[in-house]
Structure 1
Amino acid sequence: MPRVDIYWWRKYQARKRGRELLLGAQKLLRMHRDILEPRQVNGLKGLCADLSLALAENRPHLIVELSGKLEKELARAFPERSGSGWRENIEVLLVAAIVAMAIRSFFIQPFKIPTGSMQPTLYGLYPVENYNPRTPFPQRVADTLFLGKWPTDQHAPLLRGALNYLGWLIFGTWPGDGKCIMRGDHIFVDRFTYHFRRPQRGDVIVFETNEVKDLPESYRNKFYIKRLIGIGGDKIQINPPHVLVNGSILDSRPAFRRIYSCQNGYNGYVIPDFPPAKYFRTPADVYTVPPDEFFVLGDNSRSSLDGRFWGSFPRRSLIGRAIVVYWPFSERFGLIN
């Protein structure tokens, strides 16, 4: 049976403890040297230098001796106070909150799709027919995990009548008792990329509605998500099921071909009869996008309050590009195209 070298293990532990103590002492000095007296700073710096040399020369006995002295000096310089653990935890939480806010403000921001204007590319709220509160427990768990459905969310009364349904859904509101009918897709929006390149036709973008001139006041101060169709100077026409930009059918992305196919839930781009679109009454109507503005449409053209009704919006209202569906784990999970 091999013999264990106890002395070697003790030397290893001494070196490990010495290195950790040295790193901790150097960190404390960098953070708090402004509140220490000069003699304390010099004493700690001297012990750190001696311990660093002993570690470099691999002198275990000296490492143990200097580690003990450094610990005592640190205890005198930084006496333990009541609540110090709480303060450290609060500092960590504050730093984490600042980092999270910075990421949210400048890089990636989460959003939730509230309406069905981008279906079937992205899902928002939609009615659930024949809801059965006695759904088996395993199915309820699976629906929650993979489809984002919660049994307690599905108890708003459904309205009858095609006109009411169409009118309310177009304007992004579902009447009832004000409670959720079904959770929409949760997405991440890239706020960073557009600082370095211009938005491209076909991008799915998020923008604020504050400066949309022809949008009713009750729909201001909101975030909309639509597909970018035109940029400043473009001439837009809708000839169902196609959208034309500068006289040519826009098909720069596979997404447009899916929409034009009128299959798998897509219906192409339409000119709505009720309520009438302000800027597109016939296929011959042309809308010219003002300079430094964007024109957008929803993929679910039959139920989308978009540029057909209120024109374009200024570049400064742009939030960013929708890139990923991160919840629920459905067939739409992953990159948005």
Structure 2
Amino acid sequence: MTIFDSLKKSRNMRRARRTLRDATRSAVTLRAMRQDILPADDLAELSRLITTARHTPASASHNDLDSLANELAELLSRLSPPRPLSGWRGNFEVIVVALSVAMAFRAYYYQPFKIPTGSMQPTLSGISSFELSQPRLRDRMPLKIVNWLCTGEWYKEVNVTVGGKIAPIQRDESKPGYSAFQIAGRRYYIPSDALLRPNTIRVNRDGNVANNAKLWSGVVTAGDFVFVNRWIWNFRHPSRGEVMVFSTENIPSLTPGTHYIKRMCGMPGETISIRPPHLLINGKEVNQPAMIGKIAACEKFAPWAPNYAGFTLPGMPRQFAKSLMMPEDKVDLAHNEYYALGDNSRNSLDSRFWGTVPEQNLLGPATLVYWPFTSPRLGRIR
């Protein structure tokens, strides 16, 4: 016998023993799962083959091992025939496990959150738009989907079926980042930032919209998608300057069941006030951490970004006890209250209007922008 024959024989023996070992494990598993329902003769035959396989002598040839493995395989196939759609069932189990892991990750570690409005601009961007009368090449299928996946852009047309008088609908928060209008009993939604530009919606001088008219058309860019760190505040206290996400439960005038994202500016036990463009804590101007200082100094946080407008006041009578509306207003924060302000102070519905954020409402700090991929804000949140 040559050395090559010896190597081949050794390889065949290892393969045969591995095959028999796997078949024996499957047989043991089947016996444990179904021994209470298997016929007595089949159970006895299964046990006999398992015992024989476990006590196979070392001198057994690979043909003997293969023969025993085949006997086990045939018996297993008869006692546990393949179920219909078994492959799909296996895939379904994998999907269920993956979803369970993802849900646990979302619930306890990092939760995705999308920015619908411009209250945190330019630090974070909400839904934005620009007018376009006709779709571009990349706004047509199938490039439209690829363009959206990369840039978050989606060409949209708002077409009116039955014309009539157009009327704005107040306090419709069903689509954050959009403003609602009613025409002939039907609601239509336009990106809110489009209404800040002149002549963006196509309406007659008398305020009517014609039948089958195009009310608005253009490209809508999705707001930034961020990850919220849900576990870090279990190990340390929140700190001033962090961008925080919180729920709106039990906050006056806010729709319950939603989430807001603002910058944490007032901490428990402090007295907070605003003397534009500065934030005052206990009567002193605050310039730390760095982002609070940049906002107060009306600086840029990046070369491409516009300047901050500083901390501003609405200049109207107080609506709630802990609102900040006028320069003389001050708010004393309790031991479990925080003050949340938007970086885009002139266009932010924040604590200045509705008051404080209870500690139990805090979800966690927003740490990372992960989409759209072309956003200049992609990466760590400042």
Tell me the TM-score normalized by structure 1.
Answer: 0.76
Preserved contact between residue 259 and residue 299 of structure 1 (Cα < 8 Å): yes
CA contact (8 A) 1:19 1:55 kept: no
1:113 paired with 2:112, answer no
The number of equivalent residue pairs is 321
CA contact (8 A) 1:236 1:246 kept: yes
* 2:253 aligned partner: 215
Q: In the alignment, what sits opposite 1:311?
A: 355
How far off is 1:182 after superposition? 3.0
CA distance in 1, matches of 2:101, 2:229: 16
Structure 1 pair 198–239 and aligned structure 2 pair: CA distance change class (3 A): same
- Deviations 1:11-39 (CA, angstroms, capped at 9, x unpaired): 45435544554565566677x36866597
Structure 2: gaps (5+ residues): 161-167, 181-187, 192-219
Partner of 2:264: 228
Match of 2:73 in 1: 71
Partners of 1:327 and 1:22 in 2: CA distance: 50
Q: CA deviation at 1:51?
A: 5.4
- Cα RMSD between the aligned structures? 4.0
Corresponding residue SS for 1:93: helix
Q: CA deviation at 1:59?
A: 7.2
List gaps (5 residues or longer) in structure 1. Answer: 158-163
Letter in structure 1 aligned against 2:233: Y
Change (3 A) 1:142 1:80: closer
Task: Give secondary structure in 2 for the equivalent of 1:323.
Answer: strand
Aligned CA distance change for structure 1 residues 142 and 102 (closer, same or farther; 3 Å): closer
Residues 70 and 131 of structure 1, relative CA distance in 2, 3 Å threshold: same
Compute the displacement of 1:195 (Å): 2.4
Measured in 2, the distance between the counterparts of 1:311 and 1:56 equals: 81
Give the AA of the match of 2:271: K
| Structure with the larger RCO, 1 or 2 (CA within 8 Å, 6+ apart) | 1
* Shift of residue 75, structure 1, vs aligned partner: 2.6
> Is 1:285 aligned with 2:305?
no
Point out the structure with max Rg over C-alpha: 2
1:150 corresponds, among 138, 151, 154, to 154
Q: 1:48, CA displacement in angstroms? A: 6.2
Q: Which residue of 2 aligns with 1:247?
A: 283
Q: Residue 72 of structure 1: CA displacement? A: 3.3
d(CA) in 1 for partners of 2:246, 2:54: 56
Kept in 2: contact 1:277–1:308 (CA 8 A): no
Q: Give, as a single letter, the amino acid of the residue that structure 2 aligns with 1:193.
A: I
Alignment of 1:126-275 (within 5 A): 126-128=128-130, 130-137=131-138, 144-152=148-156, 174-176=178-180, 177-178=188-189, 181-212=220-251, 214-216=252-254, 219-262=255-298, 263=300, 264-265=305-306, 266-273=308-315
Separation in structure 2 between the aligned mates of residue 202 and residue 327 of structure 1, nearest angstrom: 23
**For the Cα contact (< 8 Å) 1:323–1:336, is it kept in 2?**
yes
For residues 229 and 56 of structure 1, the distance between their equivalents in structure 2, rounded to whole angstroms, comes to 76
Quick one: percent identity of the two aligned structures?
A: 35
What secondary structure is seen at the aligned counterpart in 2 of 1:133?
coil
- Tell me, yes or no, if the aligned pair for 2:245 and 2:363 is still in contact at 8 Å: yes
* 8 A Cα contact 2:126 2:177, kept in partner: no
Per the TM alignment, residue 200 of structure 1 is displaced from its structure 2 partner at its CA by: 1.8
Helix, strand or coil at the partner of 2:178: coil
In structure 2, the CA distance between the partners of 1:74 and 1:313, relative to structure 1 (3 Å rule), is same
1:218-250 Cα shifts (integer Å, max 9, x gaps): x33211111112232121111222222233433
After superposition, the C-alpha distances for 1:243-277 in whole angstroms (9 at most, x for unaligned) are 22233433443322332332332222111236977
CA distance in 1, matches of 2:59, 2:10: 16
Indicate how the Cα distance of structure 1 residues 308 and 85 shifts in structure 2: closer, same or farther if over 3 A, else same: same
Task: Quote the offset at 1:94 in angstroms.
Answer: 2.7
Matches within 5 A, 1:43-82: 60-61=62-63, 63-82=65-84
Letter of the structure 2 residue corresponding to residue 215 of structure 1: S
- In the other structure, the counterpart of 2:184 is none
Give the aligned partner of residue 204 of structure 2: none
User: What secondary structure is seen at the aligned counterpart in 2 of 1:178?
Assistant: strand
In 1, the alpha carbon distance for the partners of 2:357 and 2:297 equals 28
**Secondary structure of the structure 2 residue equivalent to 1:175:** strand
